[in-house]
Amino acid sequence: MTASDRAEQLARVAAQAADDKLAADVVAIDVSEHLVITDVFLVASATNERQVGAIVDEIEARLAAAGVKPVRREGERDGRWVLLDYIDLVVHVQHTEERSFYGLDRLWKDCPVIALPEPVASGSIPHVVRSPGDLPGPARELP
């Protein structure tokens, strides 16, 4: 058994949303062989609680635009590890310290990793700065 196409597609949408909010180390793990409650874990990191919240909000907004809402949301009050449960996709957005301590990546290391869009997978999306006031015009990349 492998993750459903729907779960993989939702994971890609969520991964792109997380990356757009500068999440670190975004990875999608196919846990369908080991769990009956979900197909995919998406794990992403942030360096502070505020960024965790921003990433979670963006993921929720993008998936809502795709027509899905979480059935459960946990951990928002503390903002160090927020879980969004979409049944066939479970999103974990963790502070980098929590991710290191709890080691979801290590726990599920034997599971296949789902390919994500190249900019997300490589973390190579350049950060762009525009002119003051975000005036129209060419953007320039930061070093």
pLDDT confidence of residue 57: 98
**Domain edges within the chain:** 5-119
Cβ count within 10 A of residue 21: 18
Three-class DSSP category at 61? helix
Mean pLDDT (whole number) for 136-141: 44
pLDDT of residue 127 exceeding 90, the answer is no
Say if CB 90 and CB 7 are below 8 A apart: no
pLDDT of residue 72 exceeding 80, the answer is yes
The helix (H) or strand (E) run that includes residue 30 is strand 24-30
Three-class DSSP category at 42? strand
Gap between the Cα atoms of 94 and 114, Å rounded: 19
**Per residue in 58-67, pLDDT tens?**
999 999 999 9
The conformation of residue 137, written as its DSSP 8-state character, comes to S
pLDDT confidence of residue 118: 75
Say if CB 60 and CB 14 are below 8 A apart: no
Gap between the Cα atoms of 113 and 84, Å rounded: 19
pLDDT confidence of residue 121: 57
Say if CB 63 and CB 86 are below 8 A apart: yes
Mean pLDDT (whole number) for 61-83: 95
Decide which of 44 and 141 is more confident: 44
Mean pLDDT of the chain: 87
pLDDT of residue 137 exceeding 50, the answer is no
pLDDT confidence of residue 2: 86
pLDDT of residue 120 exceeding 90, the answer is no
Say if CB 1 and CB 88 are below 8 A apart: no
pLDDT confidence of residue 1: 67
Decide which of 131 and 102 is more confident: 102
CATH number of 5-119: 3.30.460.10
pLDDT of residue 88 exceeding 70, the answer is yes
HSE toward the beta carbon, residue 36, CA cutoff 13 A:
0
SS3 content of the chain, % helix, strand, coil (to 5): 35, 25, 40
